[in-house]
Amino acid sequence: MKITIRLIVSLVFVVALAAFVFSFYQVRGEKARLEVELERRSLVLAESLQESVMPLLQSNSLDRLKRLVERFGNRERLLGVAVYDSSSNILTATAKLKPKISQPFPPVVNSIAENRPTGSFIELDGKTMYLFTLPVSHEDRIIGAMALFHDASYIDIRLKEIWKHNLLRFVTSSLLIIVITLLVVRWSITGPIAQIAQWVRELRIGGRAGQSAALPRGDVLAPLISEVTHLAKSLALARARAEEEARLRVNAESLWTANRLKEHMRVELGGKKLFLVSNREPYMHIREGRAIKSIVPAGGLVTALDPVMRICDGVWIAHGSGEADREAVDNNDKLRVPPEEPAYTLKRVWLTKEEENGYYYGFSNEGIWPLCHITHTRPVFRLEDWVYYQRVNEKFADALLKEITDEDSPLILIQDYHLALVPLLLKEKRPDAKTAIFWHIPWPNPEVFGICPWQKEILIGMLGADIIGFHIQLHCNNFLDTVDRFLESKSDWAQFSVNRGAHTTLIKPFPISVSFEGFLDKTAAGEEREALKKNILKEIAVQAIYLGVGVDRIDYTKGIPERFRAIERFLEKYPEFMEKFTFVELGAPSRTHIKRYHDLLAEVEETVDAINWRFRTKEWKPIVFLKGHHSHETINPFYRASDICMVTSLHDGMNLVAKEFVASRDDEDGALILSQFTGASRELKDAIIINPYDIEATADAICLSLKMEAADRSERMKRMRAVVKEYNIYRWAGNLIADLARLRL
């Protein structure tokens, strides 16, 4: 009963507060409206009366003036009119009003003195009146004034009526709320609880042990009813359920989640911070007009590591490449990110244009990138680029050393091929630091890596780390082969380690992944997914039945032209899909300063135009190329709505697009066409694996995906989702950080 009373009182209080606020604003608005209306009516009447009064004042015709005043003084809500000469002396006034007007009358004196109309609310003879005073002039000379007295008491009466009516509404609403609340509580809570109590009592005294059908049903009491029902189970059923729960607990403990990683890191790190170093920053600031906007740069590194850094509240050191990045940091070049919910610290390192061109565009992306990705693009190595590469690595190392000055045995995680020299630079000054470098791209065989003129320097720099991580075991094998070929060192193939001097480096595979939970969205399942597809097709102005999607940086390693040629061949071989299948490519331009990338972007656009020109109709085209930097919020609807996703990399370390697509498909539908040259193909074996160079086979794979039985598609997707769910980004981070934290130097 107390709960019911508290509920009723709370509801009545809220309704009363709302009624008071609404009434207050209604009264204030109505008062303002009535006052403005009265002022306007007074002005119109005064101006019309002025035309009759002015000649009478000029001729000093007091009798006619008096008759005029008496005639106008009988109008609705007009209590009277008074006329004054230029000295503010009253000449005539409505008979009932004249005895009540003082001499001199201040409002009239002020109006004549200021030569302007005035209006005000006054109290006269116990009544609220609106006084409007208008100077009467002739040829720019004031010859007198008029004062109009309107009855304003009706305004107060109207406002009191509003309060009265709203009070009546409040009382009525409160009574209805009380009645409805009592009925809802009786029907939905107290009544069912009484039934449950009676049923439990009968169970306790040995009555209807197994009869649960008579129990009330409903969302509010469903958990309680479920728990009470379990009391009637037999001992054998209880034992079976306990065994099932034990099995589920074991499975749950094998799954890595954000909470598990957070607790795991709390134990492993023991309060230490994690320091992460990469070239690419997780958040970039750009200008949009006069405003500054924060965006997430394209790329798998940010997708993978941002959830980890949110958990550990560490420090991420990266190159500040945004045009407005300097305006967003403090005096120490730091800021808290993400902007909407700060969880960790970003420290930005500044590079000159020459350093960026030499280190990033030059050595890293014209040298190391094509060297490691065997895609028949010749790597270019220039001495000046190598000099800048060393200089920038030293700059990153110095920034990191400054951050870890007060840290004892700091934990450092260095990212990718841009910073291969940082581990050695760090180890030389802080041998107590536990350091890992994760190489996000493939590692080639020794013959290919030997092309680099500074292969020994890069290997020595990397071996300054305590752990070197790659995506797959093949890359670890290639790295050890390369070390054996070019360095004097001891490689332990049993332990997968390299001993050089007094330092040992472990070489281990850590297959990177995505946050599985981050892609869950039940709103896209079933019929709602079809509605989502229709909306997307409407937005891109295409009529089709089947939708394909590709999400890439515009890079020659991603096999985008090969993908489009396969779509062209697919339409040639299977014309029944003409005007039915449309492929959307979400492409983010990248490294356009480099000629090879600039030419690739032009090639992609020309290929799309040529294929569309060949096949398109009035309301359909086979390929839609959406060029730009797309956020995850933009990409996810395409993942969920598409029938197929194509990942046709010519060579890739992992490729997280494949895993993002699988994670997003909580409807357990859709097909993944995946290149055999990606690290992801080692895990997602239920994808349709292709050789992207084989245009005929890729075209057949598209047809197979679209014609595949729904049950087969669903089974494949279920198995792939189980893999991504188990081997997620939290597992990757947990294993890598645990190995790093447990090192004994």
C-alpha span between 424 and 430 (Å, rounded): 10
Quickly state the pLDDT bin for 212 (edges 50, 70, 90).
very low
Say whether pLDDT at 523 is over 50.
Answer: no
Quickly state the pLDDT bin for 93 (edges 50, 70, 90).
confident
Nearest partner of 465 among 503, 517, 515, judged by Cα: 503
Cβ contact 461:433 at 8 Å: no
Quickly state the pLDDT bin for 437 (edges 50, 70, 90).
very high
Q: Which helix (H) or strand (E) holds 405?
A: none
pLDDT attached to residue 644: 97
pLDDT attached to residue 138: 81
Nearest partner of 427 among 454, 461, 451, judged by Cα: 461
Quickly state the pLDDT bin for 14 (edges 50, 70, 90).
confident
Q: Which residue has the higher pLDDT, 474 or 188?
A: 474
By DSSP bridging, strand 411-415 and strand 434-438 are parallel
Q: Which residue has the higher pLDDT, 195 or 671?
A: 671
The C-alpha angle 498, 280, 662, rounded to 5 degrees, equals 85
**Across the beta sheet with 688-690, what order do the strands follow?**
623-627, 581-588, 546-553, 644-647, 671-675, 688-690
Say whether pLDDT at 250 is over 50.
Answer: no
Q: Which residue has the higher pLDDT, 601 or 376?
A: 601
Q: Which residue has the higher pLDDT, 530 or 610?
A: 610
pLDDT in tens, 547-591: 999 999 999 999 999 999 999 999 999 999 999 999 999 999 988
pLDDT attached to residue 453: 96
Task: Give me the helices (H) in 153-257, please.
Answer: 153-185, 191-204, 222-230, 235-254
By DSSP bridging, strand 434-438 and strand 127-138 are unpaired
Q: Which residue has the higher pLDDT, 703 or 340?
A: 703
pLDDT in tens, 489-522: 999 999 999 999 889 999 999 999 998 876 665 4
Q: Which residue has the higher pLDDT, 663 or 52?
A: 663
C-alpha span between 668 and 711 (Å, rounded): 10
C-alpha span between 304 and 512 (Å, rounded): 7
Nearest partner of 143 among 100, 87, 104, judged by Cα: 87
Cβ contact 615:622 at 8 Å: yes
Main-chain phi, psi angles of 381, to 5 degrees: -120, 120
Quickly state the pLDDT bin for 527 (edges 50, 70, 90).
low
CATH 1.10.540.10 holds for 519-727:
no
In sequence order, the β-bridge partners of residue 670 are none
Mean pLDDT across the chain: 87
Domains of the chain: which residue ranges? 2-156, 274-353+392-509, 519-727
Check if 2-156 and 274-353+392-509 are the same fold: no
Task: Give me the helices (H) in 255-372, please.
Answer: 258-269, 300-312, 325-328, 353-355, 369-372
Does the pTM exceed 0.75? no
By DSSP bridging, strand 688-690 and strand 671-675 are parallel
C-alpha span between 298 and 631 (Å, rounded): 8
C-alpha span between 687 and 472 (Å, rounded): 18
pLDDT attached to residue 542: 95
Q: What is the CATH number of domain 274-353+392-509?
A: 3.40.50.2000
Say whether pLDDT at 227 is over 70.
Answer: no
pLDDT attached to residue 475: 96
pLDDT attached to residue 209: 43
Quickly state the pLDDT bin for 184 (edges 50, 70, 90).
confident
- State the CB neighbour count (10 A cutoff) for residue 296: 18
pLDDT in tens, 377-411: 899 999 999 999 999 999 999 999 999 999 999 99
The Cα-based distances of 105 to 83, 89, 571 in angstroms read 11, 9, 95
Cβ contact 80:149 at 8 Å: yes
pLDDT attached to residue 626: 95
pLDDT attached to residue 210: 43
pLDDT attached to residue 234: 45
264 SS3 class: helix
Reported as half-sphere exposure (CB side, CA atoms, 13 A), residue 472 has a value of: 17
> What is 2-156's CATH superfamily?
PAS domain (3.30.450.20)
Q: Which residue has the higher pLDDT, 685 or 75?
A: 685
379 SS3 class: coil
